[in-house]
Structure 1
Amino acid sequence: MDIKRMLASAPKDRDLGEPRPLLTPWGEKLDPYRCRSEHPRPQFARDQFISLNGFWRYAIVAATSDAVLQPPEAFDGRILVPFSPEALLSGVRRQLLPGELLWYEKTFEAPRLREGERCLLHFEAVDYACACWVNGRRVGTHEGGYLPFTFDITEALAAAVEGEGEGTGEGGLADGGSDGAHGDGAPSEGPACQIALCVRDATEQAGQLRGKQRLERGGIWYTAQSGIWQPVWLEVVPERHVRALGLHPDAAASRLGVDVEVAGEVGLVRLYVTDDAGRAVGAAEARVEEGSTPVAERPGAPLRRLRLEVPLEGVRLWSPDDPVLYHLTVRFGTDVVYSYTAFRTVEVRADDGGRARVFLNGEPLLVCGVLDQGYWSDGLMTAPDDEAFVHDIQAMKDAGFNMLRKHLKVEADRWYYHCDRLGMLVWQDMVSGGGAYDSWETSFKPTLWRGSWGRYDDRAPEHQAKLGGAEAPYQKRWLVACRRTVDHLRNHPCVACWCLFNEGWGQFDAVSAAEKVHRLDPTRPIDATSGWYDQHAGDFQSVHNYFRKLKVYRDRPLRLAGYVRERGSRAFALSEFGGTVLAVPDHSAYRESYGYGTFDSAEEWRCEVARQLDEAAALEARGLSVLVYTQLSDVEEETNGLLTYDRKVNKLKEGDDA
């Protein structure tokens, strides 16, 4: 145990003052009228869409006990969507508090609908709970801060056409609209449309899922954010349209299965597959029969699901070294959806020497990863530009890493798209939450006493209470969000592991949770408990080690629980280590730094980072299968990143400076 390093990293009470306003290169040249205007979902794209990013009006008001929510009579100003009000790029820079409501309003020219068409309003993420009105009609509510959701606003637009509720807000596209398209053309403009959105966000005070956000930020906890923080956009679709795709590439059988969910009564669904060079390599079709049992009802038409199977010859396998994608076109009536997939296998099993390891496409792979918080100095949780995603991924590939651990956050779908096409594996964390965490239980005790890790029953109510995971409503929310996260991301080939609980935060019954996720998706391994408080479930014995000599710890096969018991072994993952600090003048948010071991010399820091990475990689011979270095970038007062918070300096490169 490195006591000196551990004591130096202990959280301290100190006044850091206001953060230095750091702009990233993309924030410096941001065009607010073309902000994040790429198609938000490349794996489910149509030729036409309308981006609603740009300037909206906003107001922050005191929450009341009134049963009926009423928009404010006056707004405070304008906010640049999709940045949260706490972010520099939003133009607001104000913290939403638990006793307040955040209102948004935007008026624009709506698309003109033809007979039988539907208009869908998409929010990629709103933190945390919201209600939405269109032309004065409530079109839906949503709870949960990290996943996308959609409202069908067709009837509300029809009311505007009939003169029954036209928007009354000011402006239009020139007042903040920013329409974009995938392909040529866009729906013709129609009547005025007013969107009003009301958001509440109590962060940690309501036990909700929140990740690294905290109202009193500091140390490893970051500025809490609220409201719209991912793109907002519209789509016009025919009444008979494709609703969702479930992609099931089978590398062993050279076969692609596609579950197509459609809205509509009858019709032929056609699937076309092309390779990376654009050559046609397969096709299939099936008919939605009249009278078939719908899987659900929705405004406009029932939902039905059918399976298409496409045999392929000479399938090329996806890997970080060869990230080959296959492109899909799905047609149903006049609706056309574009997607892509890839063929690869990922599993944990014993190698020839009997050690459990990660196998990619049947070959053992040392997974070399970086902890990726997904924060930017000017956008906070929101990337300032699509190129910012590419920059981070490519910088880590260039540094020799083949995996990013997306930490306690579900990122924008385009980030996963870039990982897919560039060849970067992803370990996907579930978002943590729950009640207040007992610092002794979740940090100090497991740091000091490793013996506490493996004999801590997370089914015991008293233990769940100390970890913030005891409340039944929270457990239900976590399980629902976990299932939806798997459903949302499972089509991405880059996603190679589900990580359920981190350092005990909000942890409860990890064995049962791992079993549920394994049934949902048996094609990916699971890290059930990253850090400590191992419940002997999942595919990894997953350890965080910042203060001890790096080593591979012995697992206990006789204590294994759940689906892994039959295999009888788990791989060893050093799922966090490093965290060495180098603050770069003029590129750090605060005058004080937080991390694990501080260096003033960039050269000495690089030597220490290289030493730690080499020390970890050398453990492969002893059974190490995964390593995750902390971390990709500085975040607020944490200056332990390989990149600075503003992304202007790559600390690994000699002579790299702004």
Structure 2
Amino acid sequence: MKETMTKEKKTYQRTEYPRPQFERKEWMNLNGTWKFGFDDKNIGELEQWQHKPSALTKEIQVPFTYETEASGIGEEAFHANVWYHRTFQITEENAAKRALLRFQASDYHTKVWVNGVFIGAHTGGYAAFSFDISHAVDATKENELVVKVEDSQSCYQPRGKQRWINENFGCWYVQQTGIWQTVWLEFLPETTINHVKMTPNIDTNSLHLAYDLNQLPTGACRIETTIRYEGNLVKQFVITPTRKDEQIEIELTSPIHEWKIMHWTPEHPHLYDVTFQLYVDEALEDEVHSYFGMRKISIKEGKVLLNNQPIYQKLLLDQGYWPDTMLTPPSDEAMLEDINKTLAMGYNGVRKHQKVEDARFLYWCDRKGLLVWSEMAATYEYSDKAVANFTKEWQEVVTQYYNHPSIITWVPFNESWGVPKIFKDTKQQSFTEAIYYVTKSIDSNRPVIVNDGWEHTISDIIALHDYEELGENFYHRYQDKAAILENKKPHNHHKYAFAEGYHYQGQPIMITEYGGIAFQDKRGWGYGNQVTTEAEFLERFRNITNAIKDLPYISGYCYTQTTDVQQEINGLLKENREPKIALEKIKEINDA
């Protein structure tokens, strides 16, 4: 990230490769200055703005949404329709290739035109998507790229912490409309590797690979895969695909390469580099660089296991907001600062709350050894439309982020958001079961939490939320494990652990939201009474954290939260990432 100072504010540029888990050398970054316009009367398509860039009278810095200061606009009022325009050039060499236009994320319904030709549309705010624009680009001129994004205040679309009224309220913040992650181009040969799904198995020292080609070429085709660890060759093998989707399982040990298999852990996040080379008629057509971690997540006897050993999870609730850029991370350095400070406070993971985070954040978690619970943005009302919207996008997210070793848990639902009658309504219960099994059909290896907080249906972990202020009260309440897990009483005064008809089946139990302690400030809020001094904060933090750790059947916790976010001021760090309490004092309590 290049950052320059002006007299009034910073200027941000996102220049990093956007998808480091599946990287090619050649790409074109389309971030930067675009023309921009609001279309409040929704007349742009009728008047064919895709042919009239002069209709867009503003400028915006992509990938920051118009609501952010970093965009250069900084208007928080909701606008349902926004338009973007920029030009780009391609070489004659690239004109002979397939041109793929990629969006890492755009919220919510995105339509694309190139040189006036309608390319396609995508619905969803958090999943990445792409279009083949080969038929529309022209190497002899400036190419015109026009994007329209339609958003709404509907509670039927997955919105996460984005408000659906005109003002912030509770723990919901300014909405984000339009492009909010990197836009980029790749120029690819006729036959390419779309994706490789990689599944490690530490029990057999093997790796299962599922290759997906965009097509099977007419000529002789082979894929050469090379796996290295710290530059040393571990395995090299060739497959000759007979169809677009080939699968193979390979052992990582052999008499030739006597390498000890290095497992991925928070303490030692060992990664294996892998290169995929696709040859057609002996010519190298496509080359992709990736990586994987040899690690296993499992559950046994009420414990979460990492690589067959129990792991006590100490997580932070991380909402991924920044002052000038909101949902969009401003830079690699900003993401690394959050990760490093989380680790410095003695936490070994984050629960990414109501947001599917930037792929580069996950890349750095993979590198640094930070565990991640990946949580979907919630809808807030239940309907057939909400079910369809949620299911489609959740499947995309799980598929796209499957290969990241740092992700150890999927969290599709939180606190009955989007399923408000789940306690008794069998239809809403069935929806959560369906999402559980859809997730397991894609990824059978990670735990899935259905309704983090309370009113669980089918769930691999029982995740409970409780903002009790006093450690003594918390400890005594949770000593009565049977009463909580048999639904004899609410665990947090108002919600039960299970929806009606569902029962505890020996799952691990974690307190996945607690704390939320805020220093006294009339401009914002936290959970419970605000504190006035560092000593008061530390006493409350220590007492409630120790109460959780003193309960032997609880296998981890998640403190609310990493940073302040707009009006919510219960972060351990301020919005600008300045610590409120010395990091080592938080670590001392976590490590005790």
Could you say whether these structures have the same fold, taking a TM-score greater than 0.5 normalized by the shorter chain as the test?
yes
> Residues of 2 paired with 1:51 and 1:650: CA distance?
37
Aligned to 1:108: 88
Say if 2:317 is the partner of 1:371: yes
Aligned to 1:505: 417
Corresponding letter in the other structure for 1:70: Q
Contact 1:258 1:309 in 2 (8 A): yes
Contact 1:371 1:407 in 2 (8 A): yes
Contact 1:606 1:652 in 2 (8 A): no
Say if 2:579 is the partner of 1:649: yes
Say if 2:516 is the partner of 1:579: yes
Say if 2:439 is the partner of 1:485: no
Corresponding letter in the other structure for 2:176: Q
> Residues of 1 paired with 2:265 and 2:295: CA distance?
7
Q: Secondary structure, in 3 states, of the residue corresponding to 2:392?
A: helix
The alpha carbon displacement at 1:369 in A equals 0.4
Aligned to 1:279: 232
Say if 2:555 is the partner of 1:608: no
> Residues of 1 paired with 2:26 and 2:315: CA distance?
37
Q: Secondary structure, in 3 states, of the residue corresponding to 2:538?
A: helix
Contact 1:404 1:426 in 2 (8 A): yes
Aligned to 2:474: 550
Corresponding letter in the other structure for 2:371: L
The alpha carbon displacement at 1:655 in A equals 11
Closer, same or farther in 2 for the Cα pair 1:593/1:25, shift >3 Å? farther
Contact 2:2 2:13 in 1 (8 A): no
The alpha carbon displacement at 1:520 in A equals 2.3
Aligned to 1:192: 142
Corresponding letter in the other structure for 2:286: D
Corresponding letter in the other structure for 2:395: R
Say if 2:268 is the partner of 1:268: no
- Equivalent of residue 460 in structure 2, options 522, 539, 544: 539
Return 398-407 or 209-218, whichever deviates more: 209-218
Contact 2:110 2:149 in 1 (8 A): yes
Closer, same or farther in 2 for the Cα pair 1:650/1:254, shift >3 Å? farther
Which stretches of structure 1, 4 residues or longer, exceed 6 Å deviation after superposition?
24-27
Aligned to 2:114: 134
Alignment of 1:204-243 (within 5 A): 205=154, 207-214=156-163, 215=165, 216-243=167-194
> Residues of 1 paired with 2:433 and 2:328: CA distance?
33
- Equivalent of residue 386 in structure 2, options 474, 496, 502: 474
CA deviation map 1:539-583 (0-9, x unaligned): 1222110037334443349x999xx99x94111110100000026
Contact 2:515 2:527 in 1 (8 A): no
> Residues of 2 paired with 1:654 and 1:493: CA distance?
27
Closer, same or farther in 2 for the Cα pair 1:592/1:344, shift >3 Å? closer
Corresponding letter in the other structure for 1:311: E
The alpha carbon displacement at 1:74 in A equals 2.5
Aligned to 1:308: 248
Say if 2:37 is the partner of 1:59: yes
Aligned to 1:632: 562
Compute the TM-score of the two structures, normalised by the length of structure 1: 0.77
> Residues of 2 paired with 1:560 and 1:599: CA distance?
33
The alpha carbon displacement at 1:631 in A equals 0.2
Q: Secondary structure, in 3 states, of the residue corresponding to 1:288?
A: coil
Aligned to 2:490: none
> Residues of 1 paired with 2:160 and 2:535: CA distance?
33
Task: Using the aligned pairs only, state the percent identity.
Answer: 30
Q: Secondary structure, in 3 states, of the residue corresponding to 2:90?
A: strand
Corresponding letter in the other structure for 1:532: W
Alignment of 1:289-300 (within 5 A): 289=242, 292=243
> Residues of 2 paired with 1:240 and 1:197: CA distance?
27
Greater relative CO (CA pairs within 8 A, separation 6+) = 1
> Residues of 1 paired with 2:335 and 2:393: CA distance?
24
- Equivalent of residue 530 in structure 1, options 411, 430, 452: 452
Closer, same or farther in 2 for the Cα pair 1:207/1:324, shift >3 Å? same
Q: Secondary structure, in 3 states, of the residue corresponding to 1:503?
A: coil
Aligned to 1:451: none
> Residues of 2 paired with 1:653 and 1:125: CA distance?
33
- Unaligned 5+ segments in structure 1 are 1-23, 162-189, 293-303, 351-355, 435-467, 585-589
Q: Secondary structure, in 3 states, of the residue corresponding to 1:395?
A: helix
CA deviation map 1:486-541 (0-9, x unaligned): 11111111111111211110023223322222232110111111112222x11122
Closer, same or farther in 2 for the Cα pair 1:36/1:540, shift >3 Å? same
CA deviation map 1:409-446 (0-9, x unaligned): 10110111111110011111121014xxxxxxxxxxxx
Aligned to 1:254: 205
The alpha carbon displacement at 1:484 in A equals 1.5
Aligned to 2:19: 41
> Residues of 1 paired with 2:444 and 2:349: CA distance?
20
Return 507-516 or 633-642, whichever deviates more: 507-516
Aligned to 1:618: 550
Say if 2:434 is the partner of 1:515: no
CA deviation map 1:375-413 (0-9, x unaligned): 011100011111111111111111111110001110110
Contact 1:217 1:223 in 2 (8 A): yes
Say if 2:30 is the partner of 1:74: no
Aligned to 1:244: 195
The alpha carbon displacement at 1:28 in A equals 5.6
The alpha carbon displacement at 1:247 in A equals 0.6
Corresponding letter in the other structure for 1:606: L
Contact 2:225 2:236 in 1 (8 A): yes
Aligned to 1:463: none
RMSD of equivalent CA atoms: 2.7
The alpha carbon displacement at 1:287 in A equals 1.3
> Residues of 2 paired with 1:650 and 1:278: CA distance?
42
The alpha carbon displacement at 1:650 in A equals 5.0
Return 248-257 or 629-638, whichever deviates more: 248-257
Closer, same or farther in 2 for the Cα pair 1:610/1:235, shift >3 Å? same
Corresponding letter in the other structure for 2:417: W
Contact 2:66 2:177 in 1 (8 A): yes
> Residues of 2 paired with 1:596 and 1:581: CA distance?
8
Say if 2:407 is the partner of 1:495: yes
Compute the TM-score of the two structures, normalised by the length of structure 2: 0.85
- Equivalent of residue 401 in structure 1, options 347, 356, 361: 347
Contact 1:248 1:258 in 2 (8 A): yes
Aligned length: 537
> Residues of 1 paired with 2:584 and 2:507: CA distance?
39
Q: Secondary structure, in 3 states, of the residue corresponding to 1:426?
A: strand
Contact 1:116 1:239 in 2 (8 A): no
Closer, same or farther in 2 for the Cα pair 1:610/1:421, shift >3 Å? same
Corresponding letter in the other structure for 1:646: N
> Residues of 1 paired with 2:106 and 2:556: CA distance?
33
Q: Secondary structure, in 3 states, of the residue corresponding to 2:195?
A: strand
Aligned to 1:348: 299
Contact 1:219 1:594 in 2 (8 A): no
The alpha carbon displacement at 1:114 in A equals 4.7
Alignment of 1:153-168 (within 5 A): 153-157=133-137, 160-161=138-139
The alpha carbon displacement at 1:26 in A equals 6.4
Closer, same or farther in 2 for the Cα pair 1:287/1:653, shift >3 Å? closer
> Residues of 2 paired with 1:70 and 1:27: CA distance?
37
The alpha carbon displacement at 1:27 in A equals 8.3
